[in-house]
Amino acid sequence: MTLTKRHLALFVLAITLGSCAPRPISTSTLTGEHVAPKVFYVSPELFKSASFPAPPAMDSSEQQADIATVLDWQKKRTETDCAKASVTADATYATLWGEKNPFPSPMPAEVKAFFRRITSDMEAATTAMKNRYQRTRPYNSYPDSKPCIKTSKGYSYPSGHSSFSRMYSGVLGDIIPERKDEFIQVADGIAMDRVIGGVHYPTDIAAGKRFGDEFHTQLLKSPEYLQEIEKLKAFLVK
């Protein structure tokens, strides 16, 4: 097949982006047609209609309390607070978990592959949830809101970072049950950084934690997931 200059440019762009993205560029990026992501453990279809609380209405007292908390943190946060929140701005396992990662560095190929699969499922599920509610970010709705970390064009509810970090804490707790509380504490710190940084409301964070827990509950119903969890125990740092 002969590539036109346009096709070649798109191909090079996809390769370039794929080298730095947490997941590979899909075929649909090049062709323009929608291709559903492969499901490994949990289908995103479960979350397109599952019962889940909606975010506060814009004219509600809860919404006013939400933005008040964001603006309060904006007044009192320090450069150190913002620097800390910036560390986990990219929602990948490696950046979220950092030195708390219980696997060797560099991570074994089998461990990396597992987290790629579970991240792919979680990303599709989180996108389904965000598209249901389409809540705008604080800085898009309130001119006085000024984030101090990298912003996102995506919707705000539920928080993706909170969802991912909470889900990862559940997964790591399955692998090392005696450290479960420690992993949850790390996840909650990551979640709070999103409010301090000015890119999420507190109710986004609460919803993200709930969603991460619900996703993890679905993971526990997957025989494939449970089998892989047992295999991953052999790769832990001794």
Task: Give pLDDT tens digits for 155-178.
Answer: 999 999 999 999 999 999 999 999
**pLDDT of the residue at 18:** 34
**pLDDT of the residue at 93:** 84
**pLDDT of the residue at 32:** 46
pLDDT tens-digit readout, 24-80? 333 333 334 556 679 999 999 999 888 999 999 999 999 999 999 999 999 999 999
**pLDDT of the residue at 35:** 61
Vertex 109 angle, CA 93 and 112, to 5°: 15
Over 50: is that where the pLDDT of 5 sits? no
Over 70: is that where the pLDDT of 22 sits? no
pTM for the whole structure: 0.83
User: 173 Cβ partners below 8 Å, 6+ apart?
Assistant: 179, 180, 183, 184
**pLDDT of the residue at 16:** 32
CB 186 within 8 A of CB 95: no
Q: How far is CA 48 from CA 28, 44, 157, in A?
A: 21, 7, 14
pLDDT tens-digit readout, 178-226? 999 999 999 999 999 999 999 999 999 999 999 999 999 999 999 999 9
- Separation between Cα atoms, residue 107 and residue 16, nearest integer Å: 23
The one-letter amino acid code at 127 reads: T
Over 60: is that where the pLDDT of 21 sits? no
- Which token pair is 67? 């933005």
The one-letter amino acid code at 231 reads: K
> What structural domains and CATH numbers belong to the chain?
1-35 (no CATH), 38-235 (1.20.144.10)
User: What integer is the mean pLDDT of 76-85?
Assistant: 96
Over 90: is that where the pLDDT of 85 sits? yes
Q: What does the DSSP assignment read for the chain? A: -PPPHHHHHHHHHHHHHHTTSSSPPPHHHHH-S--PPPPSS--GGGGTTS--PPPPPTTSHHHHHHHHHHHHHHHH--HHHHHHHHHT-S-SHHHHHGGG--S-SSPPHHHHHHHHHHHHHHHHHHHHHHHHH-PPPHHHH-TT---SS---SS--SS-HHHHHHHHHHHHHHHHSGGGHHHHHHHHHHHHHHHHHTTSS-HHHHHHHHHHHHHHHHHHTT-HHHHHHHHHHGGGS--
pLDDT band for 20, please (50, 70, 90 cuts). very low
**pLDDT of the residue at 36:** 67
Query: How many CB atoms are closer than 10 A to CB 225?
Result: 21
Over 50: is that where the pLDDT of 4 sits? no
**pLDDT of the residue at 23:** 41
